[in-house]
Chain A
């Protein structure tokens, strides 16, 4: 039995689950559950009302079904909307009070919570199932006036900021999954960078779904005030389970005048086994608002996990001269499916956007790039450049490109390019001739194919991502 499990873990090394007693809300989605979540988090009344308003809206919304990867109907009444380690009913004051089993889990994941934290110099906020577990490096950040904490803490300590910005980018009247999240979100990270502060280190969140039958609904809110800069990393893993689990997070970024936000994701949720059983449904809404002039938001994502990935990190370029960027690598193998891309909405003048998307599909997987570039009539002198390349490995997989391009301004330019091809025999032959085996050769070529995007990642992540790219494609050649 033990050996079998070990065998399984070879494929997905984060597939273990932690035996921690969980404290859950009753199954199902109704007003009582929402009130329960709100109560347990000691939320103020305005937030509860806000949640209930979202829930009202949810009742009339229909689940979208235009996406390429279809999935069996999710029974929203059969999910737990709140799950927390029991020892968390009273929130621990510092790391020493944490359940040792939890710490062990994070150690297995390679997340520096305690001893490594000083060496690594990355401030981490870890979210386990539904609650934020610990935030490191707090003192150093507080010194600069940076607020980096869980969103439930922010609701208590900085309600004015949360109230002002929550739901301004993703309103509660948005699409089904975003509204679902608004109604039942449990935790997530909150970042506020005060004016003219350059955040001295990378901020990072690690998400992990542990309990079964739980949906994870976290909410991230990042605000970069005038002239500030922040780089934020997000990573995620989940244990291997046979049933599909839902992850519907909302991420809102707001960049004011001259501010810059860089948001990087390495998404490695459990992708299901070789026959496509189990895995995470990753239905995430990520949206950034370049509110001020000269602001910039840049999304970088490496998507290797999840049974179904369905997300479009977007930029709304509202401020004049604002810049939006999107760099993406999406890799699907076995029975994974991905429908991902971005939206660049040019509203302000002189706005610029750049999209680089690299899709790799292997096995029996299916990958779709879907993007929107929309230049409004008043967005004079705006420009967009899009490049989306797909690489196919094997003849059972699919790669699709569905860009929507709208230009309503005669002074603006849009350029779009897309190619689809396979790894050429010559390239493989060349590498093998120099002593690489076929798998190493493929890994090398794929890494080259992805380089433009990998370069955008912060150093620590880039190394991890590069490895991940190799691992994800293991067994897909030959």
Chain B
């Protein structure tokens, strides 16, 4: 692999005029080569051996992604019934970025080649991303500006992409007292690619971020997404994850509550079948007093699917009066499905309220009996119970418009 990745690296940057940055990128490349794809020997990949998954699903992974070609945007993919701003990626290349509903003086978009994250030394996939993501897009929302319409990022791939690794890097800076709603959607016609996405959010004082990650179309790609969220005083972040369509998807949320009264919410749904294997890993770091976090993850697992939830709440010794809550529930519908959880608490302060709960099992027979005695057949009863189980998470979404869209894409609207 080493030879291949090195020549792909040369290929990627052969026409570029980068000098100093290229040196850094090379360092990251070497770091990645040294570590390789993470395997189950690493604690955070214990339940999902990415190295094995990639070897099994992708023969000869290509790291070189030809970005000279341009594709026409298929506008039929755009979300309907929602006015929104668009960022479109096709095969890992940014094709369009258009804030048509906004005051363009208030949002600054820049494209940089400099790498400014060196935070996650143990994460080989971020090294890989740093080495191969040619541009690092920055979106800066000015102080006091509330982005009026949601921003939808379309991650699309077409059939020309095969056995390729795509790396995307985006940075968001939310100025003081600003707000942003961000929806990630995935449209894949391609097969067997490895898509590696890194988002970095900086939330200044009193800002609000709502991020919805919707992976609901069946495809055979392997995806990894890492969100780093740094929060200042009184900021709020809300992340919703719908994990459903890809062959493998690991969503990682790393949230640093650095300012007093900041809070983080992570809600997630796994709705898996047919050999899907998905994971959500969260790291909520309470670093200062009076911060709050809330996590709710629900899974419905059918037909040889596997879901993993690793949630960690870390409370620093300075983080008195922390409120940390975490709950994961899973319904196993099929004897071949599997749910693994590692809800972890690491606490160094005494005046805290932290709890976690985890439950997994089959559908409650008594509830099914109740519904059947009222005239529903078995299938209807089962579907109704699952719907109720999942709606619980969706109801946590604080934006009505987006909530309804998510409900209708999942077929849960009433």
Pairs across A and B, CB under 8 Å, 23 listed: A66-B43, A377-B336, A392-B347, A394-B350, A395-B317, A403-B342, A404-B340, A404-B341, A404-B342, A405-B358, A405-B360, A407-B360, A409-B335, A410-B333, A410-B335, A412-B362, A414-B359, A416-B356, A417-B355, A417-B357, A418-B343, A418-B356, A422-B351
CB of A420 closer than 8 Å to a CB of B: yes
CB of B337 closer than 8 Å to a CB of A: yes
Chain B residue, CB-CB nearest to A414: B360
CB of A471 closer than 8 Å to a CB of B: no
- Report A-chain residues with C-beta under 8 Å of the C-beta of B338: 406-408
Taking A394-B350, A420-B347, A420-B353 as given, write out 5 further A-B residue pairs in contact, using a Cβ cutoff of 8 Å, ordered by the A residue number. A410-B332, A411-B362, A420-B352, A420-B355, A421-B353
Out of B336, B341, B360, which one reaches A413, CB within 8 Å? B360
- Report A-chain residues with C-beta under 8 Å of the C-beta of B330: 407
Q: Which 7 residue pairs are nearest across A and B when measured between Cβ atoms?
A: A413-B361, A410-B332, A392-B350, A401-B345, A416-B358, A405-B341, A419-B355
CA distance A403 to B312 in the complex (A): 11
The minimal Cβ–Cβ distance linking B325 to chain A, given in whole angstroms, is 10
Q: How would residues 395 to 438 of chain A score, 1 for a CB under 8 Å from any chain B CB and 0 otherwise?
A: 11111111111111111111111111110000000000000000
Contact B362 A410 (CB under 8 A): yes
Contact B334 A410 (CB under 8 A): yes
Out of A393, A394, A396, A414, which one reaches B358, CB within 8 Å? A414
The minimal Cβ–Cβ distance linking B144 to chain A, given in whole angstroms, is 37
Chain B residue, CB-CB nearest to A393: B350
- Report A-chain residues with C-beta under 8 Å of the C-beta of B341: 403-405, 416
**B contacts, CB < 8 Å to A:** 43, 317, 320, 330, 332-362
- Report A-chain residues with C-beta under 8 Å of the C-beta of B333: 410
CA distance A405 to B311 in the complex (A): 12
> Quick one: given A416-B357, A418-B357, are A407 and B347 in contact (CB under 8 Å)?
no
Contact B349 A407 (CB under 8 A): no
CA distance A413 to B362 in the complex (A): 7
Contact A420 B354 (CB under 8 A): yes
CB of A152 closer than 8 Å to a CB of B: no
CA distance A392 to B332 in the complex (A): 36
Contact B344 A400 (CB under 8 A): yes
- Report A-chain residues with C-beta under 8 Å of the C-beta of B320: 395
Contact B358 A390 (CB under 8 A): no
Contact B344 A401 (CB under 8 A): yes
Contact B358 A419 (CB under 8 A): no
The minimal Cβ–Cβ distance linking B317 to chain A, given in whole angstroms, is 6
CA distance A420 to B313 in the complex (A): 11
- Report B-chain residues with C-beta under 8 Å of the C-beta of A410: 332-335, 337, 361-362
Contact B351 A402 (CB under 8 A): no
> Quick one: given A413-B360, A415-B359, are A398 and B342 in contact (CB under 8 Å)?
no
- Report A-chain residues with C-beta under 8 Å of the C-beta of B353: 420-421
Contact B332 A409 (CB under 8 A): yes
Decide if the interface of chain B is mainly helix, strand, loop or mixed.
strand
Contact B342 A402 (CB under 8 A): yes
> Quick one: given A410-B333, A413-B359, A413-B361, are A399 and B342 in contact (CB under 8 Å)?
no
- Report B-chain residues with C-beta under 8 Å of the C-beta of A408: 338
Q: How would residues 313 to 334 of chain A score, 1 for a CB under 8 Å from any chain B CB and 0 otherwise?
A: 0000000000000000000000
Chain A residue, CB-CB nearest to B335: A410
Out of B345, B346, B360, which one reaches A418, CB within 8 Å? B345
- Report A-chain residues with C-beta under 8 Å of the C-beta of B352: 392, 420-422
> Quick one: given A394-B350, A405-B358, A413-B359, are A420 and B345 in contact (CB under 8 Å)?
yes
- Report A-chain residues with C-beta under 8 Å of the C-beta of B345: 390, 399-402, 418, 420
Contact A396 B317 (CB under 8 A): yes
> Quick one: given A395-B317, A410-B337, A422-B350, are A401 and B356 in contact (CB under 8 Å)?
yes
- Report B-chain residues with C-beta under 8 Å of the C-beta of A392: 347, 349-350, 352
CA distance A127 to B351 in the complex (A): 43
CA distance A449 to B78 in the complex (A): 56
CA distance A94 to B336 in the complex (A): 60
- Report A-chain residues with C-beta under 8 Å of the C-beta of B359: 413-416
CA distance A395 to B348 in the complex (A): 7
CA distance A364 to B340 in the complex (A): 33
CA distance A396 to B333 in the complex (A): 45
- Report A-chain residues with C-beta under 8 Å of the C-beta of B354: 419-421
- Report A-chain residues with C-beta under 8 Å of the C-beta of B351: 395, 422
Chain A residue, CB-CB nearest to B320: A395
Chain B residue, CB-CB nearest to A410: B332
The minimal Cβ–Cβ distance linking B4 to chain A, given in whole angstroms, is 32
- Report B-chain residues with C-beta under 8 Å of the C-beta of A417: 355-357
- Report A-chain residues with C-beta under 8 Å of the C-beta of B357: 415-418
CA distance A79 to B98 in the complex (A): 71
Out of B335, B339, B355, B361, which one reaches A377, CB within 8 Å? B335
CA distance A66 to B42 in the complex (A): 11
The minimal Cβ–Cβ distance linking B150 to chain A, given in whole angstroms, is 35
- Report B-chain residues with C-beta under 8 Å of the C-beta of A407: 330, 332, 338-340, 360-361
The minimal Cβ–Cβ distance linking A347 to chain B, given in whole angstroms, is 16
Contact A398 B362 (CB under 8 A): no
- Report A-chain residues with C-beta under 8 Å of the C-beta of B343: 401, 403, 405, 416, 418
- Report B-chain residues with C-beta under 8 Å of the C-beta of A406: 338-340
The minimal Cβ–Cβ distance linking B291 to chain A, given in whole angstroms, is 15
Chain B residue, CB-CB nearest to A417: B357
- Report A-chain residues with C-beta under 8 Å of the C-beta of B355: 417-420
CA distance A404 to B343 in the complex (A): 7
Contact B360 A398 (CB under 8 A): no
- Report A-chain residues with C-beta under 8 Å of the C-beta of B336: 377
Most chain B beta carbons < 10 A, residue from A407, A415, A418? A407
- Report B-chain residues with C-beta under 8 Å of the C-beta of A421: 352-354
Q: How would residues 339 to 362 of chain A score, 1 for a CB under 8 Å from any chain B CB and 0 otherwise?
A: 000000000000000000000000
Out of B43, B335, B346, which one reaches A400, CB within 8 Å? B346
> Quick one: given A396-B317, A407-B332, A420-B352, are A390 and B347 in contact (CB under 8 Å)?
yes
Contact A414 B340 (CB under 8 A): no
- Report B-chain residues with C-beta under 8 Å of the C-beta of A400: 344-347
Most chain A beta carbons < 10 A, residue from B317, B330, B342, B358? B358
- Report A-chain residues with C-beta under 8 Å of the C-beta of B334: 410
- Report A-chain residues with C-beta under 8 Å of the C-beta of B361: 407, 410, 412-414
> Quick one: given A377-B335, A395-B317, A421-B352, are A403 and B358 in contact (CB under 8 Å)?
yes
> Quick one: given A405-B341, A410-B335, are A398 and B347 in contact (CB under 8 Å)?
yes
The minimal Cβ–Cβ distance linking A5 to chain B, given in whole angstroms, is 35
Chain B residue, CB-CB nearest to A392: B350
CA distance A419 to B356 in the complex (A): 7
CA distance A403 to B342 in the complex (A): 6
